[in-house]
C-alpha cells in the first residue's frame, strides 16, 4: 500500500479540531514563550537559560501534547477505528505527529525571538532542533499508547518533563553521584552541547557525534512506539 498524504491530512485536521477544543492541553503551548519573554525582560541570556526554555518546550509541547492526543484517541475508542482503517501504521503515526511537530517548531521559534537568541549557525541548530523534536514526539507517542486517559497521560508525562527540563542540573550532580554520568547522553544534554559548540564556531563535523546520539535515541524510541502500536492493533 502506497503512502497517502490525503489520509495523513485527514488525521491532522481531526487532531487540530480535538486540540483546539481541549483547553487543558492546548494552554501548555503558551507557557514556554511566556517564560521566554520573562527571561528576555530580565536580561537572562546564557545558553543554559535559553535551552532550559527550549527543552521545556520539547517536553511540554512535543511530548505532552502528543501523549495527550494519543491518549484521547484511546479514551474515546477512536484509535482502534484508525487502526482498523485502510491507513497504514506510518500514515497514522505521521498524521498524529504533525500537529505536535508544527506546534513545537512554532513555540521554539517564538521563544527564541523573545529571548533574542540568534545562533551563529542556524543550519546546525535547526537540524539539532528538528531531531530533538522527533525524539520527543516518539516519547509522547509511546507514553500515550500506555495511558488509558488524558488525565493518566498528564501524570505519566510529568516525570519526563522534569527530567528533560532540568538541563545541566542533573549533570552537575554527577560529581556526587557517578551513576548520573549516563545523563550526559540524554538528548537534552546533547542539544545543549551542540548549542555551546555552535557558539564557539563549530561546524557540522564537530557536532556529528552529538547529532548521532540524538539520532540513536530517535531510532530506539520510534522502534518502541511502533512495537507497542502494533501490539495494540493485535489486542
The Cα–Cα gap between 195 and 190 comes to 9
List per-residue pLDDT tens for the chain, 235 residues long: 566 777 778 878 877 787 777 776 778 888 888 888 888 888 777 888 888 889 889 988 888 888 888 888 777 777 777 777 777 777 788 888 888 899 999 999 999 999 888 888 889 999 999 999 999 999 998 988 888 877 888 888 888 888 887 656 666 666 666 666 777 788 888 998 899 899 888 888 889 999 999 999 999 999 998 888 877 666 5
Query: Do 141 and 64 touch, CB atoms closer than 8 A?
Result: no
Q: Is this structure's pTM higher than 0.85?
A: yes
State the Rg of the chain over Cα: 18
Residues 6+ apart with CB under 8 A from 145: 70, 74, 225, 228, 229, 232
The Cα–Cα gap between 57 and 63 comes to 9
Amino acid at each position: 500500500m502506497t503512502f497517502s498524504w490525503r489520509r495523513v491530512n485527514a488525521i491532522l485536521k481531526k487532531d487540530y479540531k480535538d486540540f483546539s477544543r481541549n483547553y487543558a492541553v492546548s494552554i501548555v503551548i503558551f507557557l514556554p514563550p511566556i517564560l521566554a519573554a520573562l527571561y528576555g525582560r530580565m536580561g537572562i541570556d546564557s545558553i543554559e537559560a535559553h535551552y532550559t526554555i527550549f527543552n521545556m518546550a520539547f517536553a511540554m509541547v512535543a511530548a505532552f501534547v502528543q501523549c495527550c492526543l494519543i491518549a484521547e484517541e484511546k479514551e474515546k475508542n477512536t484509535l482502534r477505528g484508525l487502526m482498523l482503517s485502510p491507513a497504514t501504521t506510518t500514515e497514522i503515526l505521521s498524521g498524529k505527529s504533525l500537529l505536535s511537530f508544527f506546534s513545537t517548531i512554532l513555540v521554539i521559534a517564538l521563544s527564541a525571538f523573545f529571548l533574542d537568541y540568534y545562533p551563529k549557525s542556524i543550519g546546525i541548530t535547526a537540524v539539532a532542533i528538528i531531531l530533538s523534536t522527533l525524539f520527543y514526539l516518539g516519547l509522547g507517542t509511546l507514553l500515550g499508547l500506555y495511558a488509558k486517559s488524558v488525565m493518566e497521560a498528564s501524570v505519566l508525562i510529568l516525570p519526563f518533563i522534569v527530567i528533560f527540563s532540568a538541563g545541566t542540573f542533573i549533570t552537575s550532580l554527577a560529581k556526587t553521584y557517578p551513576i548520573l554520568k549516563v545523563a550526559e547522553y540524554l538528548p537534552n544534554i546533547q542539544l545543549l552541547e551542540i548549542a555551546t559548540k555552535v557558539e564557539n564556531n563549530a561546524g557540522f563535523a564537530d557536532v556529528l557525534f552529538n547529532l548521532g546520539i540524538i539520532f540513536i535515541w530517535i531510532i530506539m524510541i520510534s522502534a518502541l512506539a511502533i512495537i507497542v502500536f502494533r501490539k495494540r492493533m493485535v489486542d
